[in-house]
Amino acid sequence: MELCRILGNGLDNAIEACERLENVKKHILLSISEDKDNLYISISNTSDRVNAENLSTKKKTGMHGIGVNSIKSSVERLKGVVKFSYKDSIFKLNIVVPNG
């Protein structure tokens, strides 16, 4: 369930970010891989400038607003690590969780 929550919220956030852009070539890239010890999840997408160190949840009525916190909580329950970054119009979500 936790992995479904992470993927669902991560992709939903990426789609919303792309929908906000106009007159730009948009993309979303999802990568999932594993080795014997860890599962690696990466989602990158075109985006307006964001402060990846201080991501806030949405406050408007009718908007989900729990995606980032849900991702963080799920990764924490899986005893993993999550990192958000932004550079050159690309937002990245990188997650590592132990296999098992």
Question: Which domain CATH number covers 38?
Answer: 3.30.565.10
Q: Is the pLDDT of residue 61 over 50?
A: no
Predicted confidence at residue 50, as pLDDT, reads 83
- The pTM for the full model equals 0.86
Question: Which residue segment(s) compose the domain that 58 sits in?
Answer: 2-98
- Residue 54 — very low, low, confident or very high, per pLDDT cuts 50/70/90? confident
Amino acid at position 14, single letter: A
Predicted confidence at residue 66, as pLDDT, reads 65
Predicted confidence at residue 53, as pLDDT, reads 78
Query: How many separate domains does the chain show?
Result: 1
Tell me the C-alpha distance between 33 and 94, whole Å. 12
Residue whose C-alpha is closest to residue 21's, from 63, 53, 50, 43? 50
Q: Is the pLDDT of residue 63 over 80?
A: no
Predicted confidence at residue 64, as pLDDT, reads 45
Predicted confidence at residue 31, as pLDDT, reads 98
Give me the long-range contacts of 27-34 (CB less than 8 A, separation at least 24).
34/99
pLDDT tens-place string over residues 70-90 = 999 999 999 999 999 999 999
Tell me the C-alpha distance between 16 and 5, whole Å. 16
